[in-house]
Amino acid sequence: MAIRGTHDASARVKPKESFDFLHDERVRSAFYQLLTAGVVGWLIWYLVTNTAHNLEVRGMNTGFGFLSATAGFDTDFKLLEYEPGVGTYGRIFLIGCINTLLVSFLAIIASTILGFAVGVLRLSSNWLVARLALAYVEIIRNTPLLLQIIFWYVGVFALLPRVKQSLDLSAGAEVAFLNNRGLYTAWPIPGDFFWMSIVAFVIAVIGVFVLKRWAHKRQDDTGQQFPTVTASLALLFILPGMVFLATGSPLDWDVPTLQGFNFAGGAALPPAFLALLIALTIYHAAHLAESVRAGILSVNKGQTEAALALGLRPSRAMTLIIIPQAMRAIVPPMISLWMNVVKNSSLAIAIGYSDVVALFMQTALNQAGYAVEMVGMTMAFYMFISLSISGLLNIYNKRVQLVER
């Protein structure tokens, strides 16, 4: 002990710190950072001045004034009011963005459902089904998406019937038709008091949440289960339904009818939209299926065995024990897959669906010029969407990390 005392660190004479300018940690880190910032700053300045000079020399137009100029072309799919020769380029941009978001949103939902289904089928005890799922996953994952989109567009819509022989999807009710020009469905036109039904529906949804919490608490306290699903469904249907009838059924349907060349009325989805939706769904579902499979396999086998030993049926064991644990491994790749769906929807350009790239960065750019502005705006749009989705991922990761012990 005494020996240690003599060598006490505080008692030791500190060597005089010679301030070596070149080798000092702080000086160097500051220098590196300054250098990097300087180089990057110079590079940006250099590019900007070059661009400005080149634009001037080539007599090309600049500025965002074109957004309020009228565009002379039409688009076959739009959710906003627009008329060629009246609508502006700004509106074209909005239409493009909404179209991108619409197809991505639907593809995300569909591919998530299909991906989970296929991922589970990959682990099926049925040899043939497992093999078929494997073949699907391998074929889809190993060919370029661009080829697939073109394939669906060319191949599948060639098989659909012509307008005059449309398939009636509503089995004789004549409200939904599928033909090689797309999907036509009836579209609701709300009446005066329709908002009351919506309010009732919202109340019902809140009611379901309350019910669920109460049932959960009751199960925790007393061990008794409550038929939540049946009760929720009843609540969801009966309450808005009664309000709807009480206000006098204020809803009309705009039904598509065959007039001259085409169906008129109702809502129509063009084939390019459907082809893109199918291609994106199938492609990303195959990728998600692999993540799901890996996620399920990552759950310890003992968990399954324990669940089965408790007397749970295999399907219940899957939904109550395995999937919730696998989610931790599945969700991060799934969310980055969602980002990919949004990004890959830009391949619509190959089949002419009016997404933001095809409509704004191609057609509008071709008609009006303004390359820098248009490419910049399109990239900014995608960046905004992607960063929002990855923000979602970060929130999820934080929550999962909190749960971890």
Residues 302-341 that bind another protein (CB under 8 A): 339
Q: Using CA atoms, how far apart are residues 274 and 298, in angstroms rounded to an integer?
A: 35
Sketch the per residue contact string, 163 through 182, with another protein: x for CB under 8 A, - otherwise: x----------------xx-
Position 73 contacts another protein (CB under 8 A) = yes
> If binding is defined by CB under 8 A, does position 363 make contact with another protein?
yes
What is the per-residue burial (b if ≥16 Cβ within 10 Å, else e) of 119-137?
A: bbbbeeeeeeeeeebeebb
Q: Which of residues 234-293 bind another protein (CB under 8 A)?
A: 259-262, 264, 270-272
Structure tokens at 265: 């009325």
Letters for 76-105 (x = contact with another protein by CB under 8 A, - = none) are: x-------xx--------------------
Q: Which helix (H) or strand (E) holds 188?
A: strand 187-190
Three-state DSSP class for 119? helix
Which lies closer to another protein via its Cβ, residue 162 or residue 405?
Answer: 162
Nearer residue to another protein within complex by CB, 49 or 249: 49
Place of tokens 């043939």: 128
When the beta carbons of 232 and 363 are compared against another protein, the nearer one is: 363
Residues 175-214 contacting another protein, CB under 8 A? 180-181
| The binder of another protein chosen from 158, 171, 402, 403 (CB under 8 A) | 158
Rule CB under 8 A: is residue 1 a binding residue for another protein? no
The DSSP bridge pattern shows strands 187-190 and 251-254 to be: antiparallel
Contact stretch for another protein (CB under 8 A) within 219-227, 237-245, 318-326, 378-386: 378-386
Which positions ≥6 away from 100 have C-beta within 8 Å? 342, 345, 346, 348, 355, 356, 357, 381
Q: Which of 61, 68, 300, 319 binds another protein (CB under 8 A)?
A: 61
Among 146, 196, 251, 393, binds another protein (CB under 8 A): 146
Q: Give the nearest distance from C-beta 83 to another protein in angstroms.
A: 8
Q: Tokens representing 322?
A: 């395995």
In this structure, how many other beta carbons lie within 10 angstroms of the beta carbon of residue 71? Answer: 25
Instruction: Based on the shown chain and the rule CB under 8 A, indicate whether residue 351 belongs to the binding site for another protein.
Output: yes
Contact between 27 and another protein by CB under 8 A: the answer reads no
Q: How far is CA 167 from CA 159, 161, 164, 187, 259, in A?
A: 12, 7, 9, 18, 16
Residue 191, sorted as left (phi over 0), alpha (psi -120 to 50) or beta, turns out to be: beta
Q: How far is the CB of 334 from another protein (least distance, A)?
A: 16
Residue 224 is a binding residue for another protein (CB under 8 A): no
